[in-house]
Structure formats: structure tokens, C-alpha cells
Amino acid sequence: MKKSVAGIDPSWLRDRTAVVRVDFNVPLEGGRITDDHRLRAAVPTLELLTDAGAKVVLLSHLGRPEGRDPELSLAPVAERLAELLGRPVRFVGELDPAKVAQAVAEVPAGGIALLENTRFLDGDADNDAGLAASWATLGDVFVNDAFGVAHRAHASTSGLAQAMIARGGDAVAGLLMAKELRFLEEALRDPERPFTGILGGSKVSGKIGVISALLGRVDRLLIGGAMANTFFLALGHHVGSSLVEEDSLDLATSLMEEGGERLVLPVDCVVAHELRPGASARTVALCEVGDDDKIVDIGPETRALFRAAIASSKSILWNGPMGVFEIEPFDEGTIAIAEAVAEACDRGALGVIGGGDSAAAVERAGLADRVTHVSTGGGASIKLLAGSRLPGLDSLTDEA
Ligand code: ADP
Ligand code: MG
């Protein structure tokens, strides 16, 4: 277990400074934030710290700049964050360490400073120890609340944790990080059964770790999305011009052998000739996919089959859309599954959703609030589910 910010004595925090890595990598259009979920997700940790009288120095990356790029400045984020918190947030646009330190020194106890995009400095992604050390000198404790980048070893994540510990300070998990771990790791370690896994998305190869990890733990594993196509082909079905991974056929075969009846594949599908909104589509059985057909969604019989499996589950873990959900009407299968998960959660089941596109799909369907936990970390949630180590987490101080 890693130490959490909730475990720090609030009286210790008074007049101390916390350096906090958050994931404020929000979508921007013309300097306007189009989705502030990630800012809202950080609020509990920031309120805990400032209510206790600590000064907060925030670090985040935004996009993938090469050097300073005004379009990827965090200045608009500081403004929106101040609105959400109802407190001033001082934006520090300088990159020079001495100027940054001076600006931070001017912030009063209980106040908040947001530093400029960490990736304006090459040393962040390069995990430069000197850069990490200069950030560590800004405070007394490091709080990592950036679950979304926990799978990366960067100067502002694991590097900073190590630098803070080297100076004698603690590096602890923020409340969001702790919540993500509670659901993705702990809740699924000993799940109430039946436990159903749902996997979809574009590739088998990118998610082998997740498939194997889940196969050993679930009572059944429902497979949809383009991932299912590779299984279809391995079974000798025709997949036409669908997205498929021909070099993963052996893998699909061995997963089916391992999974046996626990692994449930679609029984019908929706096909189209083109991937564009409103393209004409038909529902077909698996044996009826033509040469020009692309499988774009799970069919109605499959939806009913999957819905029934979800309805009878006490724990559900879902990653990967069931179809090309970005294009209407190929989002119907994904929405049907999202509804089934939300309904199961309404009845008290545990429902956890990981993966960037999957989270976007349930948000878009307006169902996220009804699901127990929708992870804020795309790649990080997949890595964690696959049982991989996360540097951003491993580098934190162990609970005494
Ligand atoms: P997540 O981000 O939730 O982990 P992935 O990135 O693995 O999910 O997969 C999401 C992508 O998979 C989406 O872009 C979606 O369009 C694509 N996809 C799902 N089903 C199909 C399909 N049948 N054919 C082509 N692409 C698909
Ligand atoms: Mg994705």
C-alpha cells in the first residue's frame, strides 16, 4: 500500500507547501476548454490541502509540445480552475527555475500556483533528474494525483517522487489516484460474483495483457468491437474488409482454448461498406459477411445476449467500445452495453469502466454518473488492469 494524502496529519500541512502533479491534459479549442472533467477530478485533493492551510504548487503537462508553444499554455486552465475552486489560482508562466521559485514564494499559505506546461521543458519526458530536483525544492511533500500519466516515468511524475524522497520528504498518492487504485485494483481483486468482463476496441495485440489477466479472474468475458474480428477469423469465419489482426490468429486461438465457455463472442454483427455517418448498414449473421463488408458493431442478438449476462452480474469491468462508436449509427451496440452496465449499477452491482474511448462513450451517452467508477486514466487503466507496474505509483512512499 502506498501512502495517501488523506493519511497526512492536517496540522502538519499548515504552512507547508505541497507540490502536486495533476493531469490537466484537457481538450482545448481556440484557447477554450471543451471538457473540464479532469479539472473537477482534482478538486478534492486541492481542497483537502488548501483547507488544511498548505500552499499548493501544481504541475501538469498539456498535449505534446516540442518546446514552448503558446497554444498549449496552461493559462486558460488556471482561469477555469479558479472558477471551479472559488479561489484565486496564480499562473506562473516562467520556466526559469529561479523565477518559478520566486513566484511560488509570493503565493500565500493556503494559496495555489499553477506552473506552466511541464512538457515545455524537454527534461520532463526525458525524466531529467536535475529538473525533478528543482521541482522538489519548491515544497515539503509531493502529491501525485495524475493517474492518467502514472504509466510514464517522467521528471514530473516518478522523477519528482524520487527527488522529494531523496530530500527527506514524502511522495504520496492524491485522492483521485487512491480512488482509481481502489476501484481498478482492489475492488476487482476479490469481486462479488458473477464477475463479467467486457472487452472491445480496435486491437487484440494491444490488450493481450488485459485479456489474459481477466480470463483468469472473470466468470465470463464478453468480446466485441474489432477485437472480436480476430477471433472470428481464427474460427474460420469470413470477415470481409473488417479491421482485423491477421498476425494475432494463433493468440486468439490459444485465448479461446484457455477461456473455453467463459469467453463469449458475438453471434451477429452490423456491417457497412463505408465508415461514414449515415452509411447504409445491415445486420447479418457471422456466416454472411461479404467481401466488401466491414463489421462496424455488434448485432441486436448479441446485444440481447450481452445485456442478459451483464444484468445477472454483481461485478462488471468494461474496456473497449463494441463498435465504431464515433460514427452514428454504429454507436448503438456500445450504447446498449453502457445502458446495461448503468442498469446493473442502479441495482447495486459494481461497474468499473477503463480506457479513454470507453470512458468517452459512456460520457457521451450521459450514463457516466450511474456507473460506479469511470476511470480518468486511459492507457494507465489498461496497464493496471493487465497487472503491469506503474512508475508513477511505484515511486511513492510506502505506508508505514
Ligand atoms: P479504449 O480507449 O477504451 O481502451 P480502444 O482504443 O481499444 O478503446 O478502442 C477504441 C476504438 O476501437 C474506437 O476508435 C473504435 O472506433 C474502434 N473500434 C471498435 N470496434 C470497431 C470495429 N468493429 N471496426 C473498427 N474499429 C472499431
Ligand atoms: Mg483508445
Residues tagged active-site: 38, 203, 356, 379
3 state SS of 375: coil
Task: Give yes or no for a contact between 335 and 170, defined as CB atoms under 8 angstroms apart.
Answer: no
Q: Is 5-178 CATH 3.40.50.1260?
A: yes
Instruction: Give the residue extent of every domain in the chain.
Output: 5-178, 190-385
Q: 204 alpha carbon to ligand 1 midpoint, in Å?
A: 11
Residues with CB under 6 A from ligand 1: 200-202, 225-226, 243, 295-296, 319-321, 323-326, 355-358, 378, 382
Residue nearest to atom 14 of ligand 1 (CA): 324
CA angle 203, 220, 358 (to 5 degrees): 40
Q: Pick from 212, 227, 195, 205: which is nearest to 258 by CA?
A: 212
Ligand positioned closest to the Cα atom of 225: 1
Task: State which of 202, 327, 363 you would mutate to test the pocket of ligand 1, scoring each by most atoms of that ligand within 8 A of its C-beta.
Answer: 202
What kind of fold does domain 190-385 have according to CATH?
Answer: Rossmann fold (3.40.50)
Q: Which of 324, 334, 385 to mutate to test the pocket of ligand 1 (most atoms within 8 A of CB)?
A: 324
Q: List CB contacts of 321: < 8 A, sequence separation 6 or more.
A: 200, 201, 224, 225, 331, 334, 357, 358, 361
Q: Are strands 263-264 and 220-223 parallel, antiparallel or unpaired?
A: parallel
Per-residue pLDDT, 72: 96
Residue listed under C-alpha cell 468482463: 197
Cα(203) to centroid(ligand 2), Å: 10
| Cα angle, residue 47 at apex, residues 42 and 53 outer, rounded to 5° | 135
d(CA 58, CA 26): 15
Q: How far apart are the CA of 311 and the centre of ligand 1, in A?
A: 24
In the structure grid, which three cell numbers stand for residue 53, read together? 492551510
Do the two domains 5-178 and 190-385 of this chain adopt the same fold? yes
CA of 37 to the centre of ligand 2 (A): 17
- Output the tens digit of pLDDT for each of the chain's 400 residues: 899 999 999 999 999 999 999 999 999 988 899 989 899 999 999 999 999 999 999 999 999 999 999 999 999 999 999 999 999 999 999 999 999 999 999 999 999 999 999 999 999 999 999 999 999 999 999 999 999 999 999 999 999 999 999 999 999 999 999 999 989 887 778 899 999 999 999 988 888 888 988 998 999 999 999 999 999 999 999 999 999 999 999 999 999 999 999 999 999 999 999 999 988 999 999 989 999 999 999 999 999 999 999 999 999 999 999 999 999 999 999 999 999 999 999 999 999 999 889 999 999 999 999 999 999 888 898 888 888 899 999 999 999 8
Spatial CA neighbour of 288 closest among 232, 341, 336, 250: 232
